[in-house]
Amino acid sequence: NQTFSGNLSPKWFSFVDQSFSYSATYHEDSDPKTYKDGTRLIYNGSNWGINGTFHWKKFISGLLPKEKPKVAENKAPEKEQPQPAKPETAPKNKQTQKKGILKSGFSFVTGLPNKIEPISFSYRKDKGFRKAGLVKRPSLAYQLGFSDDPQVPIIFDPQRSNSDIERFDNDFSISSGATVTSGITTRFGYSYGYSKNLSLSDHTFSRSQSYPDLSLSWSGVEKMKLVKKLFSSVNFQFAYAYKINEAGKLRTNEITGKNTGTSFAPLVGLSFKWKNGISSSLRLDKTTTTNYDLRSVGGTKGVTKNLNSGFTFSSTYAFRAPKGINFFFLKKLKFESNLSLGL
């Protein structure tokens, strides 16, 4: 058994944070009692990936021309002149108030780009092999995952080689977020994955997508008049994603199965603390999936739809007496207690 790994986090640009990672594993079984012909069975795999953050505000500010510093001019001091009395302002009418609302709304819309957070991204490439019947130990490049060819002779045995497989995976994701207003933040993203498996009996592939991977968090709900009478803190969570999964055969490019679904996890999520010190949480999840059997041979061409819902509720109450409590003829008792209830 052997492993190899490495990480690199260069600072090439001020507006991008990135880190690269690579790892490889190699396992070899050449037990002469099992493989009397002198061959060996190997398992090896490798993966490399990149994770980063794109600070788009820094990037745009770097493209804009820098303002030249203003040079102070020496001017003679001006004589102070008496200012006329300010006329009395008339009270604002409804039309003026409407203009103020429209102006604040326009300022909110035009200011949304500045509320968007940096963009996070990741890419990962993974591959794995199982090969039997190798006459010699494969090359070092193959052991470290830099080559897909072992570069050694292979003796084919139907029984041993029947389980040989080559697997290749690629995954990509991108996400960002925004602060809508004080206490309300949201995140959104997109992810894509592709995988193929090559064996002696079949070559298959699968791919998946997920979007918009939307989540919303609202803290400070307790500031509302009707809420703050009962709770000292209230937080709200919501998440939604639409997913598509497909599977098929590489040789014919036929899609044999498809799965689509929506996920609200949670549809409603609340965590709150009562005025009396009790902490509670409530969560409602809802997922819907639809499965399609698209096989041209041996398939049913059927459609199956599943709906799952889940509800959880829990409360905890902590009680402490660090200075102790007198219990009649007993001495002071110091204790700490927690009560938990769940549904």
Which tokens belong to 114?
Answer: 């500045």
Between 279 and 104, where is the model more confident?
Answer: 279
In the DSSP assignment, the letter for residue 158 is H
Give kind and range of the element (H or E) at residue 167: strand 165-181
Q: Report the amino acid identity of residue 170.
A: N
Average of per-residue pLDDT across 302-314: 93
Q: Residue 20: CB partners within 8 Å, gap ≥ 6?
A: 7, 8, 9, 10, 48, 49, 50
Starting at the edge strand found earlier in the chain, the sheet holding 333-342 runs 2-8, 16-29, 40-54, 119-134, 165-181, 184-199, 203-219, 231-249, 254-274, 279-293, 303-325, 333-342
Which tokens belong to 302?
Answer: 């059927």
Determine the pLDDT at residue 98. Answer: 59
Half-sphere exposure of 217 (CA within 13 A, CB side): 10
Determine the pLDDT at residue 127. Answer: 95
Determine the pLDDT at residue 102. Answer: 64
pLDDT tens track for 123-144:
999 999 999 999 999 999 999 9
Determine the pLDDT at residue 238. Answer: 96
Assess whether the previous peptide bond of 266 is cis (omega < 30° from 0): yes
pLDDT tens track for 213-254:
999 999 988 888 888 888 888 999 999 999 999 999 999 999
Instruction: Write b or e for each residue in 181-213: b if 16 or more Cβ atoms lie within 10 A of its Cβ, otherwise e.
Output: eeeebbbbbebebebbbeeeeeebbbbbebeeb
d(Cα 308, Cα 318) in Å, to the nearest integer?
A: 34
Taking 80 as the threshold, does the pLDDT of residue 9 lie above it? Answer: yes
Determine the pLDDT at residue 245. Answer: 97
d(Cα 24, Cα 46) in Å, to the nearest integer?
A: 4
Average of per-residue pLDDT across 31-51: 90
Determine the pLDDT at residue 203. Answer: 94
Assess whether the previous peptide bond of 91 is cis (omega < 30° from 0): no
Q: Residue 12: CB partners within 8 Å, gap ≥ 6?
A: 18
Taking 90 as the threshold, does the pLDDT of residue 181 lie above it? Answer: no
Taking 80 as the threshold, does the pLDDT of residue 49 lie above it? Answer: yes
Determine the pLDDT at residue 201. Answer: 87
Closest among 259, 248, 160, 177 to 216, alpha carbons compared:
177
pLDDT tens track for 62-115:
887 766 666 655 655 555 556 566 555 555 565 665 566 566 555 555 556 778
Task: Round the average pLDDT of the chain to a whole number and report it.
Answer: 84
